Amino acid sequence: MRKLVPFMKKYTSYAVLCPILMITEVVADIVIPYLMSLIVDVGIANRDVGYVVKIGGIMILAALIGMILGVISSYFGATAGYGFAAEIRKAVFKKVQDFSFANLDKFSVSSLITRLTNDCNTLGQVAMMSLRMAVRAPFLMVFALIMAFRINARLASVFMVSIPLTVILLGIIMAKARPLFIKMQSRVDRVNAIIQENLIGIRVVKSFNRQKHEEQRFKERNDLLRDTALKAISIVIFLLPVLTVVTYATIIAVLWFGGKQVVVGTMGSGELVSFITYITQILMSLMMLSFFFMQFLRGAASASRIVEVLETESEIKEAPDPVAEVKDGSISFENVSFAYPLSSDKALKNINLEINSGETIGIIGSTGSAKSTLVQLIPRLYDATEGVVKVSGVNVKNYSLKTLRDKVAFVLQKNVLFTGTIRENMQWGNENADDEQIITALKHSHAWEFVSSYEDMLDHKVEQGGDNFSGGQKQRLTIARALIKSPKIIILDDSTSAVDMTTDAKIQKAFKENLSNVTTIIIAQRISSIQRADRILVMNEGKIESVGSHEELMKNSPIYKEIYESQQKGVVGQ
């Protein structure tokens, strides 16, 4: 938790004022029973109405001041707590934005969401409680003890028994509850994970009719969480009754011994009453402390999960002296091998490849043959494990990420659009793009055909993930978004798989006519999508099996020929 303290900096004044005001509130709490004893022992005993009114007035004033300061202190505490949580959330969010794909492979998305929501909230609450309870409880206890001893030191010796007894009982309860609370945290995690996974994939769940199965999976985890929570609570519910018993026992002891003193006249009856109030305050503050520790444990678990994210270094590091310009669109792979972070097998094995600027390259190969893996190394979504990838003759690691990714546009295989308008989504590629540029890009990707048919055209709304578009429409929009960058290299990873053959051919034609000096890499399952490329790579099991034009490959590559023939059959069969 110490590592998170700097996030409180912006709210330092609130974090300092909250406990200070809290202490004043405690003073009022302490003064009131004392004033009460004065009313009983002096005012009532002497039948002095003026005195009773005067002290009564002071009592009300003390109560009012205590209340007002208490409210302000709570407000400051809440400001500091929520502010603290917001600062941490901001930092975690920023960190995740900097994460490389490799980092994302290690933290799952659902775990990151839980950390950004639950864990940050818990920390905010714990901070707020720490500022209030952790200050209030010890002060209240110390002041009340002092007052009790001042009133009657002999009588105060009952605390020698009741305080250690309470501490031991609370200690036992806490020790039993603690592991359960920690377990509960991880169970909450698992429930959240399943909720998130399910909601993100809700359409898939429904189309596979897996609702029952998912409900069952959810029920198991949910029940487990409930049982753990119940177990923890069934221990904690003993806190209050145990404390009440101890408190009443102490009060009885005090009444017994103190009563005798009142009879003898060595103690005022008002003193006895205020003494009992202090007892309650002392034992209550012990309980507050134990609650606080419990919360603190939860907070500590959250803190370590947050620090884990904050301390993760991005796997992709910026070059110290970056090259500022990508001169042309040539690419070369020199003895490149690559293994995914969590995998021991090499996905790419010893790749050597030269691509000229402005060339159109098609990539084909069976699923899992590492086509996506190969092209992901060009904009440094991952770094090569061995060997060097160069763009325009410069190692990709020597460019700044911004320069490189501005010039290498990548349409991912799993692509999404974001909530907003079509225009806003297009401006993702280039903030300054005007409508004319956007429409040109949409025309090149043949998305303008359907966008122009909307009444509101570029202002047409995009729902979360782009769910209000068909698969093929979405693909054409994501291609346009990449084109708007005016890149030197554009990579289309299976980006026209959902587009019909005629439109696909039109897109290829538009690319040839308008983007002839842009290096274009097209990954496709259909030979027709890449047939007219300058060169075609055939990938197989992480290696380039052969390279050549369509005609050459038909002669030399058995794999290519087989793919071609199987697809021709399909066409003839139709």
Ligand X SMILES: Nc1ncnc2c1ncn2[C@@H]1O[C@H](COP(=O)(O)OP(=O)(O)OP(=O)(O)O)[C@@H](O)[C@H]1O
b (16+ CB within 10 A) / e for 202-222: eeebeeeeeeeebeeeeeebb
Indicate the residue among 76 and 560 with the shorter CB distance to ligand X: 560
Least separation in angstroms between residue 481's CB and ligand X is: 20
* Interaction between residue 344 and ligand X (CB under 6 A): no
Site string for ligand X, 482-511 (x = CB under 6 A): ------------x-----------------
* Interaction between residue 378 and ligand X (CB under 6 A): no
Which of 370, 484, 490, 536 binds ligand X (CB under 6 A)? It is 370
b (16+ CB within 10 A) / e for 455-491: eebbebebeeebeebeebbbbbbbbbbbbbbbbbbbb
Residue 236, binding choice from ligand X, Mg ion, none, Cβ under 5 to 8 Å by partner class = none
Residue keyed to tokens 């209340």:
67
Least separation in angstroms between residue 295's CB and Mg ion is: 47
Please answer whether residues 482 and 409 qualify as being in contact, where contact means their C-beta atoms are separated by less than 8 angstroms.
yes
What is the rounded distance in angstroms from the CA atom of residue 238 to the CA atom of residue 173?
Answer: 8
Least separation in angstroms between residue 365's CB and ligand X is: 6
Q: Which residues contact 459 (CB under 8 A, 6 or more apart)?
A: 421, 422, 423
Cα maximum dimension of the chain: 120
Which of 103, 130, 247, 373 binds ligand X (CB under 6 A)? It is 373
* Interaction between residue 375 and ligand X (CB under 6 A): no
Residue 552, binding choice from ligand X, Mg ion, none, Cβ under 5 to 8 Å by partner class = none
* Interaction between residue 207 and ligand X (CB under 6 A): no
Residue 367, binding choice from Mg ion, ligand X, none, Cβ under 5 to 8 Å by partner class = ligand X
Least separation in angstroms between residue 290's CB and Mg ion is: 55
* Interaction between residue 476 and ligand X (CB under 6 A): no
Indicate the residue among 80 and 347 with the shorter CB distance to ligand X: 347
User: CA separation (Å) from 283 to 31, 243, 287, 320, 330?
Assistant: 18, 7, 6, 60, 76
Q: Return the residue nearest Mg ion (CB atom).
A: 372
Indicate the residue among 156 and 537 with the shorter CB distance to ligand X: 537
Site string for ligand X, 40-79 (x = CB under 6 A): ----------------------------------------
Indicate the residue among 349 and 423 with the shorter CB distance to ligand X: 349
DSSP per residue over 477-489, as a string?
A: HHHHHHHTT--SE
Least separation in angstroms between residue 370's CB and ligand X is: 4
What is the rounded distance in angstroms from the CA atom of residue 301 to the CA atom of residue 109?
Answer: 19
Which of 6, 57, 179, 368 binds ligand X (CB under 6 A)? It is 368
DSSP state, residue 312: P
Residues 322-341 that bind ligand X (CB under 6 A): 340
Indicate the residue among 148 and 347 with the shorter CB distance to ligand X: 347
Residue 343, binding choice from Mg ion, ligand X, none, Cβ under 5 to 8 Å by partner class = ligand X
Binding-site size, ligand X (CB under 6 A): 15
Q: On the CB side of 269, how many CA atoms lie within 13 Å of its CA?
A: 5
Q: Which residues contact 382 (CB under 8 A, 6 or more apart)?
A: 100, 101, 102, 316, 338, 340, 373, 376
The residues pairing with 491 across neighbouring beta strands, listed in sequence order, are 410, 521
* The pair of three-digit structure tokens given for residue 18, joined into one six-digit string: 């909250």
* Interaction between residue 347 and ligand X (CB under 6 A): yes
Binding-site size, Mg ion (CB under 5 A): 2
Type of residue found at 167: V
Indicate the residue among 368 and 393 with the shorter CB distance to ligand X: 368
What is the rounded distance in angstroms from the CA atom of residue 322 to the CA atom of residue 513?
Answer: 34
**26 CB burial (10 A radius; 0-12, 13-18, 19+):** buried
Least separation in angstroms between residue 342's CB and Mg ion is: 18
DSSP per residue over 313-354, as a string?
A: PPSSPPPSS-B-------EEEEEEEE--TT-SS-SEEEEEEE
* Interaction between residue 105 and ligand X (CB under 6 A): yes
What is the rounded distance in angstroms from the CA atom of residue 468 to the CA atom of residue 474?
Answer: 9
* Interaction between residue 372 and ligand X (CB under 6 A): yes
Least separation in angstroms between residue 474's CB and ligand X is: 17
Least separation in angstroms between residue 342's CB and ligand X is: 6
**65 CB burial (10 A radius; 0-12, 13-18, 19+):** middle
Residue 373, binding choice from Mg ion, ligand X, none, Cβ under 5 to 8 Å by partner class = ligand X
* Interaction between residue 369 and ligand X (CB under 6 A): yes
The arrangement of strands across the sheet holding 543-548 comes to: 408-411, 489-493, 519-523, 360-365, 535-540, 543-548
Least separation in angstroms between residue 502's CB and Mg ion is: 24
DSSP per residue over 536-570, as a string?
A: EEEEETTEEEEEE-HHHHHHH-HHHHHHHHHHHHH
Site string for ligand X, 291-310 (x = CB under 6 A): --------------------
* Interaction between residue 518 and ligand X (CB under 6 A): no
Residue 369, binding choice from Mg ion, ligand X, none, Cβ under 5 to 8 Å by partner class = ligand X
Q: Which residues contact 166 (CB under 8 A, 6 or more apart)?
A: 243, 246, 283, 286
Per DSSP bridges, beta strands 360-365 and 535-540 are parallel
* Interaction between residue 372 and Mg ion (CB under 5 A): yes
* Interaction between residue 343 and ligand X (CB under 6 A): yes
Within 10 angstroms of residue 556's Cβ, the number of other Cβ atoms is 14
Residue 406, binding choice from Mg ion, ligand X, none, Cβ under 5 to 8 Å by partner class = none
* Interaction between residue 413 and Mg ion (CB under 5 A): yes
Indicate the residue among 70 and 365 with the shorter CB distance to Mg ion: 365
What is the rounded distance in angstroms from the CA atom of residue 72 to the CA atom of residue 75?
Answer: 5
Residue 19, binding choice from Mg ion, ligand X, none, Cβ under 5 to 8 Å by partner class = none
* Interaction between residue 196 and Mg ion (CB under 5 A): no
Residue 446, binding choice from Mg ion, ligand X, none, Cβ under 5 to 8 Å by partner class = none
Residues 411-450 that bind ligand X (CB under 6 A): 413
State the residues that interact with Mg ion by CB under 5 A.
Answer: 372, 413
State the residues that interact with ligand X by CB under 6 A.
Answer: 105, 340, 342-343, 347, 365, 367-373, 413, 494
